[in-house]
Every structure is written in C-alpha cells, then in structure tokens.
A and B are shown apart, each in its own frame.
Chain A
C-alpha cells in the first residue's frame, strides 16, 4: 500500500527506530504532515524516545529498545496522528544576506548564459524565491531549502567542483543551501552569505529549524565584509 498523509506507513528499522512515511515521492502535503508529527512528538514525547528526525516525506523516530519497542512507539505515533488540532510549530522567517559579487559568485556568468538571462535577472530570480527549510542532511548545518523559482532550476553539474568555500550559496533543481564546510559540490555557486548556520551559541547552536522560512537580501561587497567581520 502506498502511504498517504492520512494513512502513513510505519516501518520498523532495526532494533531501535521506526520510520513513519507519509508519501513515497516529494509532496508538500506529506511534508506538512511530517512537520505536524514532529511538533506533536516534541510536545508529547513517547517514553523511551531518543530523537525524531524529520525529512521530506517521512520522519524517523529513534528510541531506546531497553525502555520501549516498535509497537509502543507506533501506537504513540498513531494516537498523535489521530488527535485533532495537531499543528506544526509556527515557522520563523529569517532574513539572510547574500553577496552576489564576483569573488563569491563563480557560477553566475555560466548560469546566466545557460538560462538565457542576464546576471541581474538571475540574481533577482534567486532573491524572489520562496524558501523553506525542509531538512538537514549531508553534513552538520546543511539546511536544504526548497523554493527556487522554476526559471532558475538546473540539474547539478556533471562533476563536483572541489574546495567550495563555507558560506557559499548553492542551488540545484528546486533546492538551495548555504554551505557550512569547505567541501566539493556539484551544485551551482551563486554567492556567499555571512550567515552562520552553525551559530556557536550554546542555547541555539543551529540558525534554522526545519519548517522555517528564509528570505534572502542582497548585500554589497562592503556590507558582506562588515557582516562577516
């Protein structure tokens, strides 16, 4: 049976986790269901729950097998899903600066050429996107945002480029992210952000929560340097 937001599939994973799937392919209704269950689990945690990991269309519930089991966690999840009025936590909107100037925007000329747009039009299209954090993955602080406008969607490059600096703003398909580490990437590099996703703050070590909205603001080189100080 294909899972749906109303009838999720609960799959046991090894001895200590349960995967709750709301769809098999990317689907906004399913993601909304993930966020609702994530919020419900944070306000009504099951005994023995270690952590919940939200993703695009499913959520992994990891538990201590000494304290509970798949059946008990499954029953808890089912009761939360059935409870009326379950809501996702209110999303926070972040304003994040990006500098699209030459030293940081190594792929801007190629992207403009590929899409048949001017560089200014690419920048404006990127600024106009409606971004939301869907999940973290790949590496600490890699927050995958969907919401890249259709005219800016490109397949990733055929081969990754090495040594892409931390803070790079990169896009591929409908997704955009700000890198936190210097790493290879096959995504297109449009700019650099001074925003620190790994904040270094003890009370809030990560800038975004899954579900948060992000608006980008254009920075001049001088503004970037001032904020990156």
Chain B
C-alpha cells in the first residue's frame, strides 16, 4: 500500500500529535496527556474507521498549513468550528475530505472552539513513549510537537467518501461546569468558598495544555498557602498564592503544593477546553455521589452514541 506525505508549511504554537493518552504513570510524574478534547479526537478517528485512540494532529488556535507532497489520503477534521481549506474547497471542521499530491490543507480558527483534530485514513507515523503517541508539552516526549518544515508520513494511506460529520451536542463548548468542592476546601475561609461558587468566572488567554487560568474575584487563601505536595488530576482547580484559580488540563503536573478548592467533573473538561478567552463560566456544585452518578450516565450515553455512529457507518 502506498504512503502519503505532507510537508508542514506552518504550524502554530501548541500544535502536537496526540492519541488516547498514556494513563497509569502519574506515580512517575507523567500525566495522561492525550487530547484536550478527547471526544472530538475519538470522533475524528471513528469517522474514518480508525481505532478511537489512534494518533492525530491536535491543532491549536495558532492553526496549521500543510501540503500533500505524495500520495492521496482522506482525513477527518473535528473539534471546534475551525475553517478548513482543502485544495480549492473551503469547508468547516466536521468533514471528511481527500487530499492528493499538490493540494494544501489549511486549518484556522473559525467562530468558536480552541482545538481541532485531524485524523488520517491510514497510520500517522510517529514516535511513541510508554506506548502512546501523545505529546507531553513540557518534555516533548511522545509523538512530538508539530513544527513548520517537518514531514509527516501516513502509512498505508487510504481514501473514504467525502462527507459532512454530525457535530454531537456533547462536543459543543461547555460553559456550565459541574464541580465537587475540595479536596482542600477546608483550607479556605467560608467566604472564599462562597466567592468561588458565586463567580462570575471567565476563561482567559493565559492557558496551554497544562492548565487554564480563570478570571474572576480574588480567592483569599487564609492560611492555606502551602500544603505538602500532593497528587493533582485533570480537572483540579488549584489556587496559587496570588488568589487566581487555574483549571488543570491534559498535561498537568502530577503533584503540587497549591491547595485545590474544587475539582471539575472529568467529562466536563473536554467541552471546557473548547472555550475561548472571555467566555463566561457557570459552576454547578455537586456532591461526590451526584458527580459519580452523572459521570456514569454521561459515559453510558457516550457509549450509546458511539455505537449508533458505528452502526450508521457500517
């Protein structure tokens, strides 16, 4: 089978290769990494008949431009509402398109969303670390950051019919975040907890794959300034000494000494990743049991959706 080659003409900052992530190594300082929006990543792959967790390109607001220099291959673009130019065609994300040698693919921000995913019909050739192609931004370990000038190879490149992909409601940006307070909520004065719940909060431009700072009222720390370093999760909301909360994401540090005022439901963090600076947030506080119930419900619904998509495609 023939390969397809792409020359990366331009890659914005934070464009990297990602897959389903490498869970299970937090005890060694390694976060899972993987897609900022894991659902959109999975749907890009499934649209082409790939395994849900196959390596893809994660495109940031910085955008991506690359030219097919050899072969023909279909690709699927999902994620935020990015503009997709494929050769002479001007499309949007949530499409399967086919590119052939000489044609250029341009992906740039559209009217909403912060991350887009490009999956290929074929295998994206890239290094793996601990069994995963997900790039850990701080170290560059994994598939790697995509850089202008580099060549990407799609092994066993194939084509699929060009088509629109449905954008499920689950993959819209999520401004309403379900949180469970703590685990260090007791370190904060009661007024600070109330201030946190009430907001208002906004997404800021100060963010990357490690975490995103939120803008809102100052959170007074009381005497909670420093705790012995303890484990952190994707979704932890840590409050630094300046009283500003940061929502930790895919490449989060695995331990840290800032107190965590709350933790966002894991399933809400994908949609959160698709928000842009200035977007308002609404926090809904749940008990841990309510959060676990909601997580199970969401997980079942998502599995049903994936099964229906697979059926529709078959």
What residues make up the interface of A, taking CB atoms closer than 8 Å to B? 11-17, 19, 24-26, 50-60, 62, 65-66, 69-71, 135-144, 180-181, 183, 198, 205-206, 210
Instruction: List residues of chain A with CB within 8 A of the CB of B313.
Output: none
**Contact A65 B292, CB 8 Å, known A14-B233, A140-B28:** yes
Contact present for A205 and B139 (CB under 8 Å): no
| Distance in angstroms between the alpha carbons of A96 and B51 in the assembled complex | 42
B295 part of interface (Cβ distance < 8 Å):
yes
Given contacts A26-B228, A56-B230, are A141 and B291 in contact (CB under 8 A)?
Answer: no
Chain A contacts for B136, CB-based, 8 A = 140
Q: How large is the interface on B (under 10, 10 to 19, 20 to 34, 35 or more residues)?
A: 35 or more
Q: B24 contacts A13, CB within 8 Å?
A: no
- Set B27, B227, B294: member contacting A136, Cβ < 8 A: B27
Q: What is the CA–CA distance of A15 and B229 in the complex, to the nearest angstrom?
A: 22
B18 to chain A, nearest CB (A): 16
23 A-B residue pairs with CB within 8 Å:
A11-B183, A14-B233, A14-B291, A25-B228, A51-B23, A52-B27, A53-B231, A53-B255, A54-B27, A56-B228, A56-B229, A57-B228, A58-B228, A65-B295, A70-B288, A136-B29, A136-B255, A137-B29, A137-B253, A137-B254, A138-B29, A140-B30, A181-B139
User: Do B292 and A69 touch across chains, with their CB atoms under 8 A apart?
Assistant: yes
Q: Judging by beta carbons under 8 Å apart, are B28 and A205 in contact?
A: yes
B138 (CB) vs chain A CBs: closest residue: A139
Contacts of B28 in A (CB 8 A): 136, 140-141, 205-206
**B-to-A contact residues, CB < 8 Å:** 23-30, 130, 136, 138-139, 141, 179-180, 182-183, 227-231, 233, 235, 253-256, 263-267, 288-289, 291-292, 294-296, 299-300
B29 is contacted by which of A25, A52, A65, A141 (Cβ under 8 Å)?
A141
CA distance A195 to B231 in the complex (A): 26
Assess whether A15 is in contact with B294, with CB atoms less than 8 Å apart: yes
B130 CB contacts on chain A under 8 angstroms? 205
Given contacts A13-B180, A53-B26, A55-B230, contact A139 B292 (CB under 8 A): no
- What separation, in Å, do the CA atoms of A54 and B230 have in the docked complex? 8
Please indicate the chain A residues that have their CB under 8 angstroms from the CB of B255 in the complex. Answer: 53, 55, 135-138
- A180–B140 Cα distance when bound, in Å, is 12
Most buried by B among A13, A136, A139: A13
Report how far A139 CA is from B233 CA in the complex, Å. 14
